């Protein structure tokens, strides 16, 4: 059975362990990289086997460039829930109570495959990918193994649909994995050959992976991706994708096939609801986070400091729980000295009412402010100095300052924290504004 992914452009209206492995491979007379590849596949298969049980929010920022001489600029943003079902990726608008469809078509450049299909084609137990080891490289400061691969269109159906012109193509690509842990770091793919009638110069998909703890288990999940299409005349379309709000795909979700909706009964004594737009959520950390010890995927909890009301109705009571995870931990160097870049992602709001019913909502809200503590900021400046000569051979010192701002994602707060601070204390407060996402037709 073949696996598939799709790229589409629609026009509106008109259209340590590493060294031991190497030694073992040599002792067994195996080519370099073979044993490590088996570990990489095993790690990914553990995720692929469980991925259909989970859904994520796919945040897509779409950018365009009219010509190579012009700067790329933002077009719009899409927010879609995505789930792996069978051999397909299904999509839903976030406020449609998880009614998933085979496809949601909007004008412009769209792609699928970044969440599930591409990694499955390369690493599943039934994969027909031809993989070659290319040696060791340094990848983001990590000793990584690089592999190249090809997949015939007989086994992986990558369909390109460009303004009604359609073609099925073979796939080529490269991936990198941590040589010590065998965790996949990045997966790049592109068509082995683009038919000239499509009038395209290139198509490239780049997917980055990270560990995520869900239901007490650690999995390798797609973290972010970039899909880029360049036409023959130089026009460029780019989708920058971030995956957030990954959660268990529960039985109360609905699948749509054609016009038929097949609902399943909700779990007993659980009330699912959507948070209204524009409400303020004051949330305090339930426990301190030691940034020197924290790891991406670590679970975090917060609680509401006050009732959240929509006019006179209480949407969530004081003490309601916010569940989430550490999304990002990196280190940098700048004007404030050494610092942590720490991302905190809250994904679920839940509380139990006086009747014993559990209430749950996906937490779609944008970070607005936080506790004012020394050494903690929401942005950081990067300074550069330039020396210019004048006509009389004198020097003029010119300074340039740029602000580093993290991407704006629902449920995600990114902070720059001086290493002298190190710990985000219990009770640290985040202020948020709830959001609803408009459909893009």
Task: Answer yes or no: pTM beyond 0.85.
Answer: no
Per the structure, how many domains does the chain have? 2
Instruction: Place 439 in a pLDDT band, splitting at 50, 70 and 90.
Output: low
Same domain, 60 and 171: yes
**Confidence check: pLDDT of 389 > 60:** no
**Is residue 253, in this structure, part of any structural domain at all?**
no
Per-residue H/E/C for 204-262 = EEEEEEEEEEECCEEEEEEEEEEEEEEECCCCEEEEEEEEEEEEECCCCCEEEECCEEE
**Is residue 189, in this structure, part of any structural domain at all?**
yes
Q: Give whole-number Cα distances, 63 to 59, 77, 144, 171, in Å.
A: 13, 9, 31, 24
pLDDT given at position 113? 82
What's the CATH code of the domain at 168? 2.50.20
pLDDT given at position 160? 79
318-350 confidence digits (pLDDT tens)? 999 999 999 988 887 766 578 889 999 999 999
Check if the beta carbon of residue 342 is closer than 8 Å to that of residue 326: yes
Same domain, 68 and 156: yes
DSSP letter string, 59-119:
EEEEEEESSTTSPPEEEEEEEEEEEEETTEEEEE-TTSSSEEBS----SEEEE--TTTHHH
Which residue has better confidence, 410 or 265?
410
Q: Which two tokens stand for residue 176?
A: 């990198």
Same domain, 319 and 405: yes
Same domain, 409 and 276: yes
pLDDT given at position 179? 94
Same domain, 244 and 271: no
390 burial via Cβ count (<10 Å: 0-12, 13-18, 19+): exposed
Same domain, 273 and 196: no
Domain span holding position 288:
266-434
Q: Give whole-number Cα distances, 57 to 6, 33, 296, 365, 409, in Å.
A: 19, 35, 18, 13, 10
- Provide CB contacts within 8 A for 430, sequence distance 6+: 282, 283, 284, 285, 302, 344, 346, 367, 369, 370, 413
Same domain, 317 and 393: yes
273-325 confidence digits (pLDDT tens)? 989 999 999 999 999 999 989 988 888 999 999 999 998 899 999 999 999 99
Instruction: Give the residue among 347, 341, 304, 305 at the shortest CA–CA distance from 324.
Output: 347
Q: Which residues pair with 434 in a beta bridge?
A: 365
Same domain, 308 and 224: no
56-108 confidence digits (pLDDT tens)? 899 999 999 998 888 999 988 889 888 887 677 888 888 775 578 877 777 77
Which residue has better confidence, 225 or 270?
225
CA angle, 301 then 84 then 92, to 5°? 75
Q: Among 248, 278, 313, where does a domain finish?
A: 248
Same domain, 289 and 237: no
Same domain, 244 and 279: no
Q: Among 218, 248, 278, where does a domain finish?
A: 248
What's the CATH code of the domain at 401? 2.40.128
Chain centroid to CA 413: 15
Mean pLDDT of the chain: 82
**Is residue 258, in this structure, part of any structural domain at all?**
no
**Is residue 200, in this structure, part of any structural domain at all?**
yes
Q: Which two tokens stand for residue 193?
A: 């050959």
**Is residue 103, in this structure, part of any structural domain at all?**
yes
DSSP 273: -
Q: Among 213, 248, 283, where does a domain finish?
A: 248
Q: Which residues pair with 231 in a beta bridge?
A: 200
**Is residue 440, in this structure, part of any structural domain at all?**
no
Phi, psi of 40 (to 5 degrees): -60, -45
Same domain, 138 and 94: yes
**Is residue 9, in this structure, part of any structural domain at all?**
yes
Same domain, 216 and 336: no
- d(CA 240, CA 251) in angstroms, rounded, equals 30
113-161 confidence digits (pLDDT tens)? 888 889 999 999 989 999 999 999 999 888 999 999 999 988 887 777 7
**Is residue 254, in this structure, part of any structural domain at all?**
no
């Amino acid at each position: 059975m073949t696996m598939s992914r799709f790229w589409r452009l629609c026009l509106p209206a008109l259209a340590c362990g590493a060294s031991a492995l190497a030694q073992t491979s040599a002792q067994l007379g195996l080519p370099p990289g073979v044993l490590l590849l088996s570990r990489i596949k095993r790690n990914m298969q553990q995720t692929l086997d469980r991925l259909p049980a989970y859904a994520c929010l796919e945040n897509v920022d779409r950018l365009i460039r009219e010509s190579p001489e012009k700067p790329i600029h933002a077009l719009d943003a899409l927010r879609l829930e995505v789930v792996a079902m069978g051999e397909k990726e299904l999509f839903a608008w976030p406020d449609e109570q998880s009614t998933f469809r085979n496809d949601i078509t909007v004008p412009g450049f769209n792609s699928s495959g970044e969440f599930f299909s591409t990694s499955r084609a390369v690493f599943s137990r039934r994969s027909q990918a031809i993989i070659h080891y290319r040696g060791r490289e340094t990848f983001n400061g990590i000793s990584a193994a690089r592999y190249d691969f090809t997949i015939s269109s007989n086994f992986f159906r990558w369909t390109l649909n460009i303004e009604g012109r359609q073609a099925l193509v073979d796939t080529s690509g490269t991936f990198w994995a941590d040589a010590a842990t065998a965790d996949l770091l990045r997966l790049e793919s592109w068509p082995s050959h683009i038919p000239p009638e499509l009038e395209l110069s290139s198509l490239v998909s780049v997917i980055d992976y990270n560990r995520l703890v869900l239901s007490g288990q650690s999995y390798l999940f797609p973290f972010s991706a970039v899909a880029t299409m360049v036409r023959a005349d130089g026009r460029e379309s780019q989708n920058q994708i971030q995956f957030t709000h990954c959660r268990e795909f529960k039985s109360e979700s609905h699948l749509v096939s054609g016009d038929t909706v097949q609902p399943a009964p909700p779990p007993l004594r659980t009330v699912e609801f959507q948070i209204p737009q524009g409400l303020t959520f004051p949330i305090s950390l339930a426990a301190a986070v030691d940034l020197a010890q924290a790891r991406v995927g670590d679970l975090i909890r917060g609680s509401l400091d006050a009732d959240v009301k929509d006019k006179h109705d209480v949407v969530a009571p004081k003490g309601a729980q916010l569940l989430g995870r550490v999304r990002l931990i990196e280190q940098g160097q700048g004007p404030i000295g050494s610092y942590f870049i720490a991302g905190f992602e809250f994904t679920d709001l839940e509380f139990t009412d006086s009747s014993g019913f559990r209430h749950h909502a996906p937490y779609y809200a944008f970070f607005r402010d936080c506790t004012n503590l020394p050494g903690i900021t929401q942005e950081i400046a990067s300074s550069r100095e330039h020396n210019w000569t004048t006509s009389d051979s004198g020097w003029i010192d010119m300074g340039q300052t740029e602000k580093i701002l993290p991407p704006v994602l629902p449920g995600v707060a990114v902070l720059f924290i001086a290493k002298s601070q190190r710990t985000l204390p219990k009770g640290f407060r985040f202020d948020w504004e709830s959001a609803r996402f408009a459909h893009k037709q």
